[in-house]
Amino acid sequence: MENCRLFLLIFAVFHAFFSIRSQPYVGINYGEVADNLPPPAATAGLLKSTTLSNLRLYGTDPAIITALAGTNISLVLGVSNGEIPAISSDPSAAASWVSSNILPFVPASSISTVSVGNEVLNSGDPSLSSHLLPAMQNLRSALAASPAAAGIKVSTVHTMAVLSQSDPPSSGAFRADLLPTIESITQFLHDNNSPFMINPYPYFAYQSDPRPETLAFCLFQPNSGRPDPGSGITYSNMFDAQVDAVRAALRAAGFAGVEVVVAETGWPYRGDQGESGASVENAKAYNGNLVAHLRSMANPVETYIFALYDEDLKPGPTSERSFGLFRPDLTPIYDAGILKPESDSGEAAPPSSATVSPIPPVSPIQAAAAAPPAEAVKPAQKCVPGIGGTGCGQPPAQKLPGTFSRNLSGSGAGLHLRQQLTPWLPMMMLLAALC
């Protein structure tokens, strides 16, 4: 009897330890539009004191790539929008880009993906959009030519404005004017086992509908839920609703098997007058509850929080310079639940004063399903209060049968040890009862 209880205690501690040690499905964005960023070595040390396992760069800063060599942190590197035309037009330019920005760093640094451009299809530049797929193809060929880089994936990042419909999520559909381009790009992603990358921002959806009930829905706080008559699912948060809208759009286009990766999502901790909801309390609630929500899933969608630091040189409203989780002196602006315990990181983690809001339980339908979440829209992209990016005068998309509120990618990539242990929990509970 005593040995049985001791075994259960050891198992519980083991399970809890690996639940917080690392989260392969949670990453963060590292923007560099700033003049006060800490040295790359300091940033590498900060990242190692967190449970984050992925870092997305918008370029190919060699200093930060080198600083993360030999760590367990996987990198997404970026090709700037300005580099796309040359890489698209000349395979040798793609080979040169890979030789300069990838080959010097692998395999010492772990590079998972190259993101070609950022939000190109919503850049307002049709010429740039026409160069996007050829650039992706040339880079894929250049990577495949080197054994050290052949496993690196190639994708591109979209805003939620590529959707014409997202409310309810089961009616998700791509814009008719973008559909041929998106279908060609997504066929490339499918053929190369690469993810569809999207930027969801519930914060901007709240801006278009600043009611208390919308705020609770966006912050993963208790709310009455939003039913989707097309799927029979009642959604408890904006994040899942938006990701499922993207999944529905992919399914309607014939690409249900393509993984979704959330390339950016976040909440500003301050803003100008009139920027509803921009506060430390709400930023902490959104990001903290997001991390807790992802932890609660068996197979979470890979998600990159925006952002590691503020970017003080960014133009626009104050909120654009206020998405950071950490200050340049490496202290947290608030605790989003990503810091390792001091004993695990080897460094003293900054003190936490976070009060994360309770997350409503996932419904049986949502828990039983299996597909990735969807995202939000930026101000000019919103049409329907509460969801965003929908109802823009487009005919409603055909409603799809069945359930696709799957909270993870169907591929099951990036399983964490905690998730592998999860099936054993019922057995442990039974054993506990017998003890």
Q: How far apart are CA 24 and CA 416, in angstroms?
A: 6
Separation of alpha carbons 29 and 265, rounded Å: 9
In sequence order, the β-bridge partners of residue 155 are 115
Which position has the token pair 């989003």?
336
The answer to whether 168 and 228 have CB atoms below 8 angstroms apart is: yes
From the candidates 83, 259, 264, 302, which is the catalytic residue? Answer: 264
Q: Both tokens of residue 320? A: 């654009």
Distance CA 414, CA 197 (A): 16
For every residue of 33-74, which 3-state class applies, written as one string?
Answer: CCCCCCCHHHHHHHHHCECEEEEEECCCCHHHHHHCCCCCCE
What would the two tokens of residue 118 be? 């950022």
To the query of whether residue 119 is one of the catalytic residues in this protein, the response is yes
Tokens of 404: 């696709």
**Which class for 2: exposed (0-12), middle (13-18), buried (19 or more C-beta within 10 A)?**
exposed
Q: Cβ contacts of residue 293 below 8 Å, gap of 6+? A: 220, 237, 239, 359
Angle at the Cα of 139 from the Cα atoms of 134 and 145, rounded to 5 degrees: 130
Element of type H or E holding 159: strand 153-159
Residues 119, 259, 275, 302: which is the catalytic one? 119
What is the chain's percent helix, strand, coil content, to nearest 5? Answer: 40, 15, 45
Catalytic residue list contains 264: yes
The C-alpha atoms of residue 370 and residue 201 are separated, in whole angstroms, by 22
- Across-strand partners of 76? 56, 113
- List active site positions: 119, 264
